[in-house]
Chain A
């Protein structure tokens, strides 16, 4: 590297302009691929990029639904999946070494069409429809009418779900998500260990079919009745697996055609022939090297998303691909470290490129600002035998992440006491570079947590990955949760709101929760708390009832033949993977807007019942007026009532009481496997989405103010006693038995944490975190100065990343309200 270049890089490092440094450090290939991506998320509810919907898949899906009308639900799904894969366009971008996309072209997003509200949402975005607009609107209309009449499965659900439950759920006040959308866990221990790939699975299935068919031609009896459907299920799985192999081979053909007919650069020709060889190999056969391993993984991730919408991306890339990295880079030296970094960087970019559903409900676009979904990849941790699972790829991935600076996927690192210092330094470098990730998870705590709540055996619990942002999920046959409906996600500030309004929601004007008493008549705190508990029980019940029914009906209304074909439990039993038979269960209730409960209850206890400064009627009047005309009183409730995060037992005890009531009830509500539903406090950007939906609260908040940013994080600016006090408050929670996991956002000073001294300070802080038994922590390390500059001049700060909540986003891609909320977060001096 030339001296002038080195000086420039040092200057950028000195000024902490990591995004410019990354641009200079990455290869020409990575720079091209990074800038080639069309952003697929939304900001302030609107699409970030001028991408267009591709309506052809919707038209094709209608044709195929007609063609395969007479098939069983699972076989129909499989045949449609296969035909759509055979018919779609594929593409290979210049410089790419990894291929496979959810879209037919880089700047489009597929629109599949559906009935009901989901379909109608696209009318809100005429700019996303292809020209000519009139033609597009006609297609959208016709497809919508077709599915309204045909039914897309959920109509069966809506016929039998409790009408009161679903009316309240869809009011948009307390429930986030939909009964049937969500994201799947993956049985990686079955298909990602190098022992088998699609052709091997097909052989296993063929054997099962053969054995079972023998039984169906034997003596008749009740025990052979279920066998017919099993055979049909297996056949459907095979249809999907074979379709996946064909689709991959199409990429091989295209790469070869380009190499042999169009490409003139000999080096690029060679690369394309290697791409061809890779796609001929995987996913049909197990991978043999790093490129094949990454390509195998990526193909499967795209295929599951071509089968169904997936809102998250559970993965453990260093664990499953690490052996190939070590073989190729360290042992056999088939590729250099730089060449490997190119592959890893592209692997991240390919994931970043994957869209969710842009014009889905507003709750998606506002709750997941700036990103397409919460792709949180799990690094580190331990092997099933308890030994350190970190390897050379763990650190290589973090180096690649600093180069490409995508906001998705992010990493979550499973910390344990035996993690080497070199790994911790890489983690710190990523945080110091302002990526907002990896977040850190306390592995011993979370393994114990998995065993406590869901009874996963120790070795299975140790395989865990993040199923979405936070919750661990094993990757084993009976431990994996094949689908998690996001609608077990509650706007929990409503609990305290309803306790103070006799269950009535003043924002949507409905009686939501039970009538727990006129709060003006409450004479002591226990009456209020009792009302709070009853509202919590009602809310937990309503969320889980809605999800449980949808999950149980899923094999009929939303079968997953492809996902079933890569899931050992489904194959072994001949069932759709969505059927809970044999599944241990791994459910949780995501608790948005959680801390407002403790802060509000503490404020009422102190100022009304202990100090008797105000009466309940006065408080209720003020809340109903949205604090208008009560500003002095409101500021009293803001400033002179205890707030969470200050190591103050007065409010910390209330927080623990709330959590432990939830924990108690989590053992009462059960999932379809009969397992528990523990609470998991975290937000995505639900604190912004719900800001106009949650009424005024006794913590001094007005309706319209942003809610707190995440999990058990203190309210912005309300933690006044420093970072150790925050950790101590959070450390009073039992992170094994009080809930599933607890998200903690912290903001650190980039100036204070410079250099080796900064690293040692951070390490000491992390020791305190670990000693106090917290399960999670994540950091923003970007100065106010940079963020304000990015607000003024977003073009110059395209790659500044911030940790929003359970995900990161590019700062310029989130709404102004969310930006301001992040800037408000206290910068902790450690």
Chain B
């Protein structure tokens, strides 16, 4: 089972590698930006539409 830790968008937090930031690039009609959400490294990623294997 893939987890967030296996995803190329996942960046572990240096002093707490069990957590990390899921970072994605988004573009809407007005602007481009990077967005981040804090996740558990061990969270199941099977249902995630943005998952990309490292």
B33 near A107 with CB under 8 A, answer: no
Query: Is A257's beta carbon under 8 Å from chain B?
Result: yes
Question: In the complex, what distance in Å separates the CA atom of A94 from the CA atom of B34?
Answer: 8
Question: In the complex, what distance in Å separates the CA atom of A262 from the CA atom of B26?
Answer: 13
Q: Which of B25, B33, B37 contacts A106 (CB 8 A)?
A: B33
Q: Which of B26, B28, B29, B36 contacts A257 (CB 8 A)?
A: B36
Q: Mark B16-43, 1 if CB is under 8 A from A, else 0.
A: 0000010101101111111111100000
A106 near B30 with CB under 8 A, answer: yes
Question: In the complex, what distance in Å separates the CA atom of A88 from the CA atom of B30?
Answer: 22
Question: In the complex, what distance in Å separates the CA atom of A444 from the CA atom of B36?
Answer: 49
B32 near A93 with CB under 8 A, answer: yes
Query: Is B13's beta carbon under 8 Å from chain A?
Result: yes
A91 near B38 with CB under 8 A, answer: no
Query: Is B51's beta carbon under 8 Å from chain A?
Result: no
Query: Is A36's beta carbon under 8 Å from chain B?
Result: yes
Question: In the complex, what distance in Å separates the CA atom of A90 from the CA atom of B26?
Answer: 12
* Residues of chain A with a CB closer than 8 A to B34's CB: 91-92, 254, 257-258, 262
Number of interface residues of A (CB under 8 A): 25
B28 near A106 with CB under 8 A, answer: yes
* Residues of chain B with a CB closer than 8 A to A94's CB: 31-33
A105 near B23 with CB under 8 A, answer: no
Query: Is A166's beta carbon under 8 Å from chain B?
Result: no
If over half of A's interface residues share one DSSP class (helix, strand or loop), that class is named, otherwise mixed; here it is: mixed
Smallest beta-carbon distance B51→chain A, Å = 17
Smallest beta-carbon distance A105→chain B, Å = 7
Closest chain B residue, CB of each to CB of A36: B31
Question: In the complex, what distance in Å separates the CA atom of A89 from the CA atom of B21?
Answer: 10
Question: In the complex, what distance in Å separates the CA atom of A693 from the CA atom of B31?
Answer: 41
* Residues of chain A with a CB closer than 8 A to B35's CB: 89-91, 104-105
- Known contacts A89-B36, A250-B38; is A106 also within 8 Å of B11 by CB? no
* Residues of chain A with a CB closer than 8 A to B26's CB: 91, 105
A93 near B31 with CB under 8 A, answer: yes
Query: Is A37's beta carbon under 8 Å from chain B?
Result: yes
Question: In the complex, what distance in Å separates the CA atom of A37 from the CA atom of B29?
Answer: 10
Query: Is A11's beta carbon under 8 Å from chain B?
Result: no
List residues 12-44 of chain A with CB under 8 A from any CB of chain B: 32, 35-38
B13 near A253 with CB under 8 A, answer: yes
Smallest beta-carbon distance A176→chain B, Å = 33
Query: Is A87's beta carbon under 8 Å from chain B?
Result: yes
Smallest beta-carbon distance B43→chain A, Å = 13
A253 near B31 with CB under 8 A, answer: no
Question: In the complex, what distance in Å separates the CA atom of A779 from the CA atom of B27?
Answer: 39
B21 near A93 with CB under 8 A, answer: no
Smallest beta-carbon distance B46→chain A, Å = 21
* Residues of chain B with a CB closer than 8 A to A38's CB: 30
List residues 92-111 of chain A with CB under 8 A from any CB of chain B: 92-94, 104-107
* Residues of chain A with a CB closer than 8 A to B13's CB: 253
A35 near B30 with CB under 8 A, answer: yes
Q: Which of A88, A89, A107, A262 contacts B28 (CB 8 A)?
A: A107
Question: In the complex, what distance in Å separates the CA atom of A5 from the CA atom of B11?
Answer: 46
List residues 205-262 of chain A with CB under 8 A from any CB of chain B: 250, 253-254, 257-258, 261-262
Closest chain B residue, CB of each to CB of A94: B32
Q: Which of A35, A107, A254 contacts B36 (CB 8 A)?
A: A254
* Residues of chain A with a CB closer than 8 A to B30's CB: 35-38, 106-107
A250 near B21 with CB under 8 A, answer: yes
Q: Which of B23, B28, B31 contacts A254 (CB 8 A)?
A: B23
Question: In the complex, what distance in Å separates the CA atom of A250 from the CA atom of B37?
Answer: 9
A262 near B25 with CB under 8 A, answer: yes
List residues 77-135 of chain A with CB under 8 A from any CB of chain B: 86-94, 104-107
* Residues of chain B with a CB closer than 8 A to A253's CB: 11, 13, 21, 36
Q: Mark A594-608, 1 if CB is under 8 A from B, else 0.
A: 000000000000000
Smallest beta-carbon distance A249→chain B, Å = 10
Smallest beta-carbon distance B38→chain A, Å = 7
Closest chain B residue, CB of each to CB of A89: B37
Smallest beta-carbon distance B21→chain A, Å = 6
* Residues of chain A with a CB closer than 8 A to B28's CB: 105-107
Closest chain A residue, CB of each to CB of B37: A89
B33 near A254 with CB under 8 A, answer: no
B11 near A257 with CB under 8 A, answer: yes
Closest chain B residue, CB of each to CB of A33: B31
Smallest beta-carbon distance A703→chain B, Å = 41
B38 near A254 with CB under 8 A, answer: no
Smallest beta-carbon distance A51→chain B, Å = 10
Smallest beta-carbon distance A276→chain B, Å = 13
Q: Which of A32, A35, A107, A257 contacts B23 (CB 8 A)?
A: A257
Q: Mark A60-87, 1 if CB is under 8 A from B, else 0.
A: 0000000000000000000000000011
* Residues of chain A with a CB closer than 8 A to B29's CB: 107
Question: In the complex, what distance in Å separates the CA atom of A32 from the CA atom of B31?
Answer: 8
Smallest beta-carbon distance B34→chain A, Å = 5
Question: In the complex, what distance in Å separates the CA atom of A107 from the CA atom of B28?
Answer: 8
- Known contacts A253-B13, A257-B23; is A93 also within 8 Å of B33 by CB? yes
Closest chain A residue, CB of each to CB of B25: A262
Please indicate which of the listed interface residues B13, B29, B35 has the most CB atoms of chain A within 10 Å of its own CB. Answer: B35
* Residues of chain B with a CB closer than 8 A to A88's CB: 37
Question: In the complex, what distance in Å separates the CA atom of A86 from the CA atom of B21?
Answer: 11
Question: In the complex, what distance in Å separates the CA atom of A780 from the CA atom of B24?
Answer: 44
Question: In the complex, what distance in Å separates the CA atom of A257 from the CA atom of B11?
Answer: 8
- Known contacts A253-B21, A254-B23, A257-B21; is A106 also within 8 Å of B36 by CB? no
Smallest beta-carbon distance A275→chain B, Å = 11
Please indicate which of the listed interface residues B23, B32, B33 has the most CB atoms of chain A within 10 Å of its own CB. Answer: B33
* Residues of chain B with a CB closer than 8 A to A86's CB: 38
Smallest beta-carbon distance B1→chain A, Å = 23
Smallest beta-carbon distance B37→chain A, Å = 5
Question: In the complex, what distance in Å separates the CA atom of A37 from the CA atom of B31?
Answer: 8
* Residues of chain A with a CB closer than 8 A to B11's CB: 253, 257, 261
Closest chain B residue, CB of each to CB of A38: B30
A90 near B31 with CB under 8 A, answer: no
Question: In the complex, what distance in Å separates the CA atom of A257 from the CA atom of B13?
Answer: 10
Question: In the complex, what distance in Å separates the CA atom of A253 from the CA atom of B31?
Answer: 21
Question: In the complex, what distance in Å separates the CA atom of A609 from the CA atom of B34?
Answer: 71
A92 near B21 with CB under 8 A, answer: no
* Residues of chain B with a CB closer than 8 A to A257's CB: 11, 21, 23, 34, 36
* Residues of chain A with a CB closer than 8 A to B21's CB: 250, 253-254, 257
Please indicate which of the listed interface residues A38, A87, A90, A262 has the most CB atoms of chain B within 10 Å of its own CB. Answer: A90
Question: In the complex, what distance in Å separates the CA atom of A783 from the CA atom of B31?
Answer: 33
- Given A94-B31, A261-B11: 15 more A-B contacts, CB < 8 Å: A32-B31, A36-B31, A87-B38, A89-B35, A89-B36, A90-B37, A91-B35, A94-B33, A106-B28, A107-B29, A254-B21, A257-B11, A257-B34, A262-B25, A262-B34
Which chain A residues have a beta carbon within 8 Å of chain B's beta carbons?
32, 35-38, 86-94, 104-107, 250, 253-254, 257-258, 261-262
Closest 4 CB pairs of A and B: A36-B31, A91-B35, A93-B33, A254-B36
